[in-house]
């Protein structure tokens, strides 16, 4: 009986020691992964500016969901994504993105899932006209085959300060 218990205990210890272990990244490794997340975001922006759908797709996971600035703009398939992007690309000649500001990246301890939120200026150029907007962008990325890929995102255009001021009383006639 003691041998049977000893054997069972040995088997249990062996199984638990051989089971899948979660490997946590060091703070330095997490910082390196965060830099890679930023690189993917910049790759996406360059591809988007160049109107290169193939390069945009290289930054995306197989299943994506995007929310646009319009409340009805919810993109759940690559076909919808391509259609929305091509429509947007017809509305301007070029976008020049500014530096990423107020960057916040949250990442799990294993470096497999990340969320990034940031702001950036964007100059939309149409012919000789330039319109500048400040964008708030959020993306969720997952690591697949050692590469970070975007799985979801949302973009908001920040209104100029005059919209946030005091409520104006209507003028009386």
> Domain of 147: which CATH number?
3.10.450.50
Does residue 8 lie in a domain region?
no
Q: Which stretches of the chain score pLDDT less than 70? A: 1-22, 160-173
pTM: 0.77
Q: CA–CA separation, 132 vs 157, rounded Å?
A: 10
Q: Which of 171, 59, 76 is nearest to 84 (CA)?
A: 76
Q: CA–CA separation, 40 vs 144, rounded Å?
A: 13
Whole-number pLDDT of residue 132: 92
Does residue 117 lie in a domain region?
yes
Whole-number pLDDT of residue 113: 95
Residue 29's φ and ψ, nearest 5 degrees, are -65, -40
Q: Determine how many CB atoms are found less than 10 A away from the CB of residue 147.
A: 13
Does residue 151 lie in a domain region?
yes
Does residue 164 lie in a domain region?
no
Whole-number pLDDT of residue 30: 94
pLDDT digits (tens, 9 = 90+) for 1-41: 556 555 555 655 665 556 566 689 899 999 999 999 999 99
Q: Which of 97, 104, 96 is nearest to 139 (CA)?
A: 104
Whole-number pLDDT of residue 170: 44
Total structural domains in the chain? Answer: 1
Q: What's the domain range around 106?
A: 24-159
């Amino acid at each position: 009986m003691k041998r049977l218990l000893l054997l069972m205990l040995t088997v249990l210890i062996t199984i638990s020691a051989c089971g899948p272990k979660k490997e946590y990244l060091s703070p330095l490794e997490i910082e390196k992964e965060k830099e890679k997340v930023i690189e993917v975001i910049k790759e996406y922006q360059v591809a988007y500016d160049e109107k290169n759908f193939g390069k945009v797709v290289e930054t995306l996971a197989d299943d994506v969901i995007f929310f646009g600035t319009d409340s009805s703009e919810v993109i759940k398939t690559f076909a919808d994504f391509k259609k929305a992007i091509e429509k947007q690309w017809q509305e301007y000649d070029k976008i020049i993105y500014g530096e990423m500001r107020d960057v916040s990246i949250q990442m799990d301890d294993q470096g497999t899932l990340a969320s990034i939120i940031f702001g950036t200026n964007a100059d939309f150029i149409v012919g000789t006209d330039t319109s500048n907007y400040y964008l708030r962008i959020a993306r969720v990325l997952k690591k697949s085959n050692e590469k970070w890929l975007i799985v979801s995102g949302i973009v908001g255009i920040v209104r100029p300060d005059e919209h946030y001021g005091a409520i104006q009383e209507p003028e009386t006639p």
